[in-house]
Amino acid sequence: MIPHEWPKTESEAVAIQERLRPLVRIEEPPPIRTAAGLDVAYRDEDEIVAAITVLDVTTLSVVDSAVVRGKAEFPYIPGLFAFREAPPLLAALDELSVRPDVLVCDGQGLAHPRRFGLACHLGVLTGLPAIGVGKTAMGSYEPPGEERGEWSPLHLDDEVVGRALRTQSGVKPVFVSVGHRCTLDAACELVLRLTPKYRLPETTRTADHLGRMQP
């Protein structure tokens, strides 16, 4: 059950983030056998296609998926994307027959101005372990070494909020942050398991592909 009503104003949304932020837990996750990739595509300014794929972490094969279309009910405001994207993503999670062990969000977790990005929000609402894997940095960092697996701290307001992680040698890093019920070490280890060939995790790639296939 969602523990809050969806807000109508920016001030209401910020208040919800501030209220839920203390519920984020940083801890070792349980054994992870399946990982869900969550992606949102926009067909026009307000039409949303939320796509989720669930992968077997060992084989990286898709074992379940769901797609939900919806209308964005909240304006486009930096730092408040979850209020546009979380409702259809939660609806898609409800459509799954396989409950994933972790949510891998195409976005941020603690790497957020109020330390409560999409991965934190979805993790707290569902109770599932969650991580954010962003394509762009929310904060500052020194480039990590060029080899796969090397990383450097991601800072925001003089606080370490995640890591710039090199998933493929000589390729731009991704930006990993904790969402809920995970540690940064465990999050980065999982991301490396999910990126055997490409920069982005297979969870993100398959969810993005599923969303793009929708008419």
- CA 120 vs CA 28, 148, 159: distances in Å: 15, 26, 17
Q: Is 39 annotated as a binding residue?
A: yes
Do 141 and 153 form a contact (C-beta atoms < 8 A)?
A: yes
Q: Tokens 């408040």 — which residue? A: 80
Return all residues near 148 (Cβ < 8 A) that are at least 6 apart. Answer: 166, 167, 168, 169, 192
**SS3 (DSSP) at 21:** helix
Q: Where would I find the H helices in 96-196?
A: 118-126, 184-193
Closest CA to 123 of 101, 103, 93, 95: 103
The annotation places the binding site for Mg(2+) at 39, 106
The annotation places the binding site at 39, 106
